[in-house]
């Protein structure tokens, strides 16, 4: 039916052309719809990764006219022998450990509390407030917290020095700028940023649990903790898995925050594998992008391996 | 937290009624009060940093250095000052608006077309496309690809070019946008699309008249997701664009050292409020559609 109409419409054109157009509509039409997406995706997601993979096996340097040579795995072996590679991976892992539990557990707790708010208008207000940080763009979050942590005018130090008097101006904590406090400071900021968004996720999961299930358990004499552990938790397991895996991925690959708060000091705890890669690719010497590519690939693959384990650990059972 | 609120209020109220005293009311609703107090504390934590910036932007200069939340003297002139005295600011703001608008529109069109095709036209190989898009979400593409995106842009002559940023920006959330649109179009019954086709509508007409109105909530979600990403993008703009005047607002704001000259704290805060407000206002108006879309498309997918 559809075919006849298509060829009827195409009947305006001379015979062969019409047949061709109709065929194009039927077969390639779908790919025409996909074309813009595929073109952009291939050009700016797929190709760069393939190219970086290729570069990682060469001695490519950006700021030179000498042709680059195929060097096999020597970039990889050099990186793996470099203590900085391991140190920078360890720093990224340390940050992830600081960040991940808070960004799962706090929103879960908050969602359980808000789920019981029965007043509809109040519930809406809470939800809107929760999502406000999520609609603030990333860099603006970092700039905001750069001021929160500011040594002179930041409200956090103002609270510690002037309001409570716990510290004086001389020993007030230096939160950012590559001190030992920098990673925890960034972790707190990230938990704040994700708090609302993750709570909304959990709220959606809680809304899908039939209300009579926890009710029945309570009538049977289950404590609130038992209700949570045996009724709520298993049903939220898929959401927990998605959040753990995705947030592990973002936390291990953080770069903007480290660029803004840390810089390129190799001793700084913010000098992770992402900064190491960026430093080699755009800051050091003749921009050794072949070596930088190998660093990036090692970091990415290390991350993906842990992700596979996380999926296996957090996969919902039964 | 030992009991559900309704449960809690219902059972001990008998005891409260016999004593008929105020402390009884408090006891009855203790869990509810504690719950609301904890929620309120979280709400304050979420809003406090934003309130701080807002106050900072309307403080007089001496108050800005004092650190108290409530200023002794208000000064609303910083908003006009930043536009009149910081000459690059209107340019940076325009750059951000231009790049973000182009990115959001292009990505949305791409995602709608692709989502429709993947669900209702089902070409051979659609499964592979979906798998590749999904895998790309788990690989740190944004970080690793920066090396060769620089090379590509250099080759295209787009280094230090504001418009050139649009190309990589489009792909930042393209995969997730397509996947959201895909799960939205899965909610549109295939029979409806078929019926429109039988009535003689082409794919374009079917998509525009039948498909798009039905995925409206999802459109709001990908609009917001792409707006937030493009409006705040830092890494690509920092790496690909060198001139201050060609950069977007986030890079300028992140580089501004607070407290000096034109970047006195209240000025900086005023710029911040100007940059951050459009998103929050747009979201507040669209929140109903956004939450519906989120529930339909994101959580499910």
Task: Give the model's pLDDT for residue A24.
Answer: 55
Lowest pLDDT segment from A20-34, A76-90, A131-145, A173-187: A20-34
What pLDDT shows up at residue B300? Answer: 47
> What string of DSSP letters covers B156-186?
TT-TT-TGGGHHHHHHHTHHHHHHHHHHHHT
Q: Are B143 and A31 within 8 A, CB to CB?
A: no
In chain A, the percentage of residues whose pLDDT exceeds 90 is 47
What pLDDT is stored for residue A19 in this prediction? 61
Q: Mean pLDDT, to the nearest integer, of A218-229?
A: 85
| Residue B71 belongs to a domain | no
| Bridge partners, B74 (sequence order) | B59
Q: Which domain holds residue B186?
A: 79-298
Q: In this complex, do B276 and A140 lie within 8 Å of one another by their Cβ atoms? A: yes
Residue B74 lies in a domain: no
How confident is the model over A44-50, as a mean pLDDT?
94
Q: Report the CATH number at residue B131.
A: 1.10.3720.10
Which residues 6+ apart lie within 8 Å of B262 measured at CB? B82, B85, B86
Q: Tell me, yes or no, whether B92 and B10 share the same domain.
A: no
Predicted pLDDT of residue A106: 94
- Confidence at residue A131, expressed as pLDDT on a 0 to 100 scale: 85
Do B92 and B149 lie in a common domain? yes
- List, as one string, the DSSP characters of B14-41: HHHHHH--HHHHHHHTHHHHHHHHHHHH
A95 vs A89: CA distance, rounded Å: 10
Region A74-314: CATH code: 1.10.3720.10
The 3-state secondary structure of B192-261, one letter per residue? HHHHHHHCCCCHHHHHHHHHHHHCHHHHHHHHHHHHHHHHHCCHHHHHHCCCHHHCCHHHHHHHCCCCEC
Has this prediction a pTM greater than 0.95?
no
* B148 and B29 in a common domain: no
Q: How many domains does chain B have?
A: 2
Residue A116 and residue B5: Cβ atoms within 8 Å?
yes
Residue B151 and residue B45 share a domain = no
> What's the ipTM?
0.85
- Do B145 and B45 share a structural domain? no
pLDDT category at A201 given cuts 50, 70, 90 is confident
**Nearest chain B Cα to A198, which residue?**
B299
CB atoms B147 and A281 under 8 Å: yes
Inspect the interface and report whether the beta carbons of B140 and A300 lie closer than 8 Å: yes
Q: Residue A41: which of B161, B235, B100, B113 has the closest Cα?
A: B113
Let me know whether B137 and B278 are in one domain. Answer: yes
Q: Can you give the residue ranges of every domain in chain A?
A: 2-39, 74-314
| Interface mutation target, options B124, B128, B142, B144, chain A, most CBs of A under 10 Å | B144
Tell me which residue in B140, B151, B198 faces A2 most closely, judged by beta carbons. Answer: B198
Contact (CB, 8 A) for B70 and B54:
no
A268 HSE (CA, 13 A, CB side): 21
Residue A115, CB half-sphere, CA atoms under 13 Å: how many? Answer: 24
Confidence of residue A7 (pLDDT cuts 50, 70, 90): very low
Same domain, B51 and B139: no
Residue pairs spanning A and B at CB distance below 8 A: 279
Please report the pLDDT score of residue A6 as a whole number: 43
Instruction: State the pLDDT confidence band at A151, using cuts at 50, 70 and 90.
Output: confident
Q: Please check whether residue B165 is in contact with residue B156, taking contact to mean a CB–CB distance below 8 angstroms.
A: no
**For residue A263, what is the nearest residue in chain B, using CA coordinates?**
B255
> What does the pLDDT read at residue A174?
85
Is B228 part of any domain?
yes
**Are B25 and B144 part of one and the same domain?**
no
Q: Which residues contact A95 (CB under 8 A, 6 or more apart)?
A: A183, A186, A187, A251, A254, A272
Q: How far is B16 from chain A (nearest CA, A)?
A: 22
Same domain assignment for residues B31 and B131: no
pLDDT tens string for chain B (301 positions)?
333 444 444 444 444 444 445 667 777 778 888 888 999 999 999 999 999 999 888 888 777 777 777 877 788 888 888 888 788 888 999 999 999 999 999 999 999 999 999 998 888 888 999 999 998 988 999 999 999 999 999 999 999 999 999 999 999 999 999 999 998 898 888 888 888 888 877 778 888 888 888 888 889 889 988 999 999 999 999 999 998 889 999 999 888 877 667 778 888 888 999 999 888 888 888 877 877 777 776 554 4
């Amino acid at each position: 039916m559809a075919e006849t109409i298509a060829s009827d419409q195409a009947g305006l054109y001379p015979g062969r052309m019409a047949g061709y157009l109709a065929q194009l509509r039927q077969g390639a039409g779908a790919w025409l719809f996909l074309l813009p997406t595929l073109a952009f995706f291939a050009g700016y997601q797929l190709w760069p990764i393939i190219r970086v993979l290729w570069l990682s096996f060469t001695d490519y340097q950006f700021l030179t006219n000498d042709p680059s040579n195929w060097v096999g795995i020597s970039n990889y072996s050099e990186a793996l022998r470099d203590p900085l590679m391991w140190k920078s991976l360890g720093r990224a892992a340390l940050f992830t450990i600081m960040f991940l539990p808070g960004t799962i557990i706090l929103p879960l707790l908050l969602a359980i509390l808000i789920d019981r708010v029965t007043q509809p208008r109040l519930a809406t207000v809470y939800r809107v407030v929760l999502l406000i940080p999520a609609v603030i763009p990333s860099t603006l979050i970092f700039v905001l917290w750069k001021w929160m942590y500011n040594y002179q005018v930041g409200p956090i130090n103002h609270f510690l020095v002037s309001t409570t008097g716990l510290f004086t101006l001389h020993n007030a904590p230096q939160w950012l700028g590559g001190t030992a406090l920098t990673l925890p400071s960034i972790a707190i900021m990230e938990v704040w940023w994700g708090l609302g968004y993750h709570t909304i996720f959990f709220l959606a999961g809680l809304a899908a649990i039939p209300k009579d299930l926890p009710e029945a358990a309570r009538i049977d004499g289950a404590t609130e903790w038992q209700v949570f552990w045996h009724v709520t938790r298993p049903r939220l397991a898929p959401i927990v898995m998605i959040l753990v895996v995705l947030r592990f991925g973002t936390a291990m690959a953080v770069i903007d925050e480290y660029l803004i708060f840390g810089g390129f000091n190799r001793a700084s705890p913010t000098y992770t594998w992402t900064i190491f890669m960026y430093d080699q690719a755009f800051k050091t010497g003749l921009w050794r992008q072949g070596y930088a590519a190998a660093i990036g690939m090692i970091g990415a693959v290390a991350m993906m391996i842990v992700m596979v384990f996380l999926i296996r650990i957090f996969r919902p059972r039964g | 937290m030992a009991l559900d609120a309704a449960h809690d209020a219902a059972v001990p109220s008998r005891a409260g009624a016999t004593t008929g005293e105020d402390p009884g009311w408090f006891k009855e609703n203790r869990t509810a009060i504690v719950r609301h107090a904890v929620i309120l504390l979280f709400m304050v934590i979420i809003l406090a940093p934003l309130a701080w910036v807002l106050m900072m932007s309307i403080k007089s200069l001496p108050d800005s250095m004092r650190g108290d939340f409530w200023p002794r003297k208000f000064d609303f002139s910083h908003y006009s000052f930043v536009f009149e005295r910081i000459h690059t600011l209107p340019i940076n703001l325009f750059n951000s608006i231009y790049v973000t608008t182009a990115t959001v529109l292009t990505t949305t069109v791409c995602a709608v077309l692709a989502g429709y095709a993947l669900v209702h036209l089902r070409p051979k190989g659609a499964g592979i496309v979906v798998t590749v898009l999904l895998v790309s979400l788990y690989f740190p593409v944004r970080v690793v690809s920066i090396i060769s995106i620089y090379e590509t842009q250099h080759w295209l002559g787009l280094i230090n070019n504001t418009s050139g940023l649009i190309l990589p920006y489009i792909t930042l959330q393209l995969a997730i946008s397509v996947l959201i649109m895909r799960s939205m179009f899965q909610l549109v019954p295939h029979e409806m699309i078929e019926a429109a086709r039988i009535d003689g509508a082409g794919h374009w007409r079917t998509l525009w008249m039948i498909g798009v109105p039905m995925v409206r909530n999802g459109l709001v979600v990908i609009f917001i997701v792409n707006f937030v990403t493009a409006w705040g993008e830092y890494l690509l703009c920092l790496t690909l664009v060198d001139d201050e005047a060609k950069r977007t607002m986030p890079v300028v704001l992140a580089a501004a050292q607070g407290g000096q000259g034109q970047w006195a704290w209240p000025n900086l805060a005023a710029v911040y409020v100007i940059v951050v407000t459009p998103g929050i206002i747009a979201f507040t108006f669209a929140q109903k559609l956004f939450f519906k879309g989120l529930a339909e498309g994101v959580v499910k997918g």
